[in-house]
Chain A
Amino acid sequence: MIRYLVRRIVHLAALLAAVSALSFSLVSLSPIDPVDAYIGADVMKVGPEQRAKIAARWGLDKPPLERFTTWAANLVRGDFGISAIYNEPVLTVIGKRFAMSLWLMALAWVFSGLFGFVLGVVAGAFEGGLFDRAVRFYAYLLAGTPTFWLGLLLLLIFSVALRLTPVCCAFPPGVTPEEATVWQRLWHLALPAATLSIVGVSAVILHTRQKMIQALRSDYALFARAQGEDTMGVVRHHALRNVVLPAVTLQFATLGELFGGSILAEQVFSYPGLGQATVEAGLRGDVPLLLGIVLVSAVFVFTGNTVADLLYRVIDPRIGWKGAA
């Protein structure tokens, strides 16, 4: 297991190196002039000397290869550069924003996992029944629903028509992040997290349902029935523990989609998380921040995949540690 982890870490390092080289060359190709992007609307007021100074401050007067080596060397030391739009070190911005997004993603993750699992188990246990058909239809319909449209729908129903939930942001207006209570935070998280959960639930449902059907058709289920267990007993004592693992693994393996969904949900609900920062960085050409987010999100997804893989190996001894990369 130690060897597995070491290999995984080496793999991660190589992957990050490739991702950073690739994304750096991509942003260097961009025809959007970073100086123009930084100056924004004041383009006409800035003279050539000032432009040269800004370029020198950001190191833009040097050739791309030298910029890459400097940037990469700083990365290794843990310095991701300074965000142009927030005027703070990139890691500080990402840290703050990620903490906000983590609340959102964690809530959505737990809810979609729980609901998806329960619905999938029940639907699979009564395959072909009315409940199964309803759940399957629901999962099928939601699999293609645009996250942002669903968010809009919830916003219209619960915030505008029913006035139950806040329209935007992470805290009530006029309250600083430090003053906000946990309840206020959760209150503002309700709709964005619901949006992400409702969309994310369908994959877990379909996967769990499939595994449940498989388990109930297995020889050990047949044997248990022959010994006199009824359906509930087979599900509770035999099928359930075989179905939990795939569901949990799937939840870990789809962190990338959760991250992507949170970008859209945060945009709909003006929630000041990492997703919103990603969009800002892309729109306003904040290259250091954009690159930083690419790397951090890659680590996030990679960690999820590794945990999924690890869970399988720890819980299911048949898989073992050999041949794992």
Chain B
Amino acid sequence: MRAARTVFPGSPGLAGLRLAEALGLGSRRGRWLWAMGICLAVFAAVPVLAWLLGDAGLEPDLLARNQPPSLGHLFGTDSLGRDMLSRTVHGLVLSLRVGLLAAAASSVLALVLGVASASLGRAADGVVSWLVDIFMTVPHMVLLILISFAVGGGARGVVIAVALTHWPALTRVIRAEVLQLRGALYVQTARRFGQGPLAVAATHMLPHLLPQFLIGLILLFPHAILHEAALSFLGVGLSPHTPAVGILLAESMRHLSTGYWWLGILPGAALLALVKCFDILGYNLDRLLDPKTSQE
């Protein structure tokens, strides 16, 4: 990469290029690391911003109703004079919390089921495949509504529904991975050399499984966050007073014809940005951990 770039001395781009090289932007690897760093910074910034903004913007302020975005209210205010930026940021914190909980629960489920189905024999494999089949045949949104109804709705319903429905895809990935590893030559060699199943699992299989698992875990976040927002938008879960992005969007539907465009557009865009950060983090981590692409 570096050798391919020719820079003539004295050209205006030189100083900038040196800076870029020094920062590690010259290689793809460096750029991936930077992108990941920025994403992590965004995740850290959301709760910090929520803490800095405090709850002040969540209280109605009847003197500042329906104001378009300005320096005082970057995202404008709603019909009760609440600051939309505060509400959005608090909503994003909620999204992050639900996403974290759901991704953790679903990935643990996927790990247990995936490993079990690949290593506990045909019966276990059959049961797990059957479960995956069931969960994949019912459309995800319908399943979410069904589970959140079964739990009794509310915030708990949303969290449990989102947490319990994101494991099938990752389960399949882990199952395939474990199956492939079990057949790999080096694993069989290790076994022939007399290493116990636990030692084989710890020293030979885990290092391969871990990156896949980690990437799968990160890529679960966007789905979980979007589904939480969708459920709140439909009104299935959280109370209408909670600042959640889905609820903000549902509220903005009622003010559509009045031309208060900022009520829905800006919170949704913020949510999209957050989701994309998880995507970027996951894909870059994937390329970084994959030996085939990591040294570019």
Please give me the residue from chain B that is nearest to A148 by CB atom: B233
Which residue of A156, A257, A294 contacts B138 across the interface (Cβ within 8 Å)? A294
Q: Is the CB of A263 within 8 A of B138?
A: no
Contact indicator B268/A149 (Cβ below 8 Å): yes
Interface residue A307 (Cβ < 8 Å from any Cβ of B): no
The reply to whether A27 and B149 contact each other, CB–CB distance below 8 Å, is yes
- Which residues between 153 and 190 of chain A lie within 8 Å of chain B, taking CB atoms? 153, 155-156, 159-160, 167
Q: Which residues of A contact B265 (CB under 8 A)?
A: 152-153, 156
**Cα-based distance from A159 to B257 in the complex (angstroms):** 9
The interface residues of chain A, by DSSP majority, are classed as helix
B236 touches A26 (CB 8 A): no
A5 CB within 8 Å of chain B: no
Query: Residue A310 at the B interface, CB < 8 A?
Result: no
Is A30 an interface position by the 8 A CB rule?
yes
Chain A residues 292 to 314 lying within 8 A of chain B, measured CB to CB, are: 293-294, 297-298, 300-302, 305
Partner of B256, one of A144, A155, A278, A305: A155
> Within B123-172, which residues are at the interface with A (CB < 8 Å)?
130, 133-134, 136-143, 145-153
* B15 sits at the interface (CB 8 A): no
**Contact: A259 with B134, CB < 8 Å?**
no
Note all chain A residues with C-beta closer than 8 A to B246: 148
B234 touches A30 (CB 8 A): no
Q: Is A54 an interface residue (CB 8 A)?
A: no
- Given contact pairs A18-B134, A30-B151, A152-B252, A260 touches B141 in the complex (Cβ within 8 A): yes
Residues of chain A within 8 A (CB-CB) of B138 are 19, 23, 256, 294, 297-298, 301
Contact with B along A254-273 (1 / 0, CB 8 A): 00110111011001100000
- Bound CA span A135–B209, Å: 33
Min CB distance B43 to A, Å, is 16
**Contact call A293/B134, Cβ cutoff below 8 A:** no
* Choice from A141, A159, A259, A305 contacting B142 with Cβ under 8 Å: A259
Please give me the residue from chain A that is nearest to B278 by CB atom: A144
Report B-chain residues with C-beta under 8 Å of the C-beta of A167. Answer: 256-257
Query: Which of B31-39, B99-107, B190-198, B269-277 lies at the interface?
Result: B269-277
A149 and B271 contact, Cβ closer than 8 Å, known pairs A282-B146, A285-B149, A294-B146? yes
Cα–Cα distance between A23 and B145 once the two chains are bound (Å): 11
A148 to chain B, nearest CB (A): 5
List residues 21-65 of chain A with CB under 8 A from any CB of chain B: 22-23, 26-27, 29-32
- Which of B44-52, B85-93, B176-184, B222-230 faces chain A? B222-230
Whole-angstrom CA separation of A167 from B258 in the bound complex? 12
Q: A141 to chain B: which residues have CB within 8 Å?
A: 276
Q: A148-B249, A279-B236, A294-B138 are in contact. Are A160 and B146 (CB under 8 A)?
A: no
Verify if B62 is at the interface (C-beta below 8 Å from A). Answer: no
Binding site for A on B (CB under 8 A): 130, 133-134, 136-143, 145-153, 222, 226, 229-230, 233-236, 246, 249, 252-253, 256-257, 259, 261, 264-265, 268-269, 271-272, 275-276, 279
27 A-B residue pairings within 8 Å (CB atoms): A18-B130, A30-B149, A30-B152, A143-B279, A144-B222, A146-B230, A146-B249, A148-B249, A149-B271, A156-B256, A160-B256, A160-B257, A256-B138, A256-B139, A256-B140, A257-B139, A257-B140, A261-B141, A278-B145, A279-B145, A279-B234, A279-B235, A281-B145, A282-B148, A283-B236, A297-B138, A305-B137
Additional pairs, 7, CB under 8 Å, beyond known A146-B233, A152-B249, A256-B138 = A146-B249, A152-B264, A153-B264, A264-B233, A282-B145, A294-B142, A298-B138
Listed from nearest, the 6 A-B pairs whose CB atoms lie closest are A260-B141, A149-B268, A26-B150, A282-B145, A31-B152, A259-B139
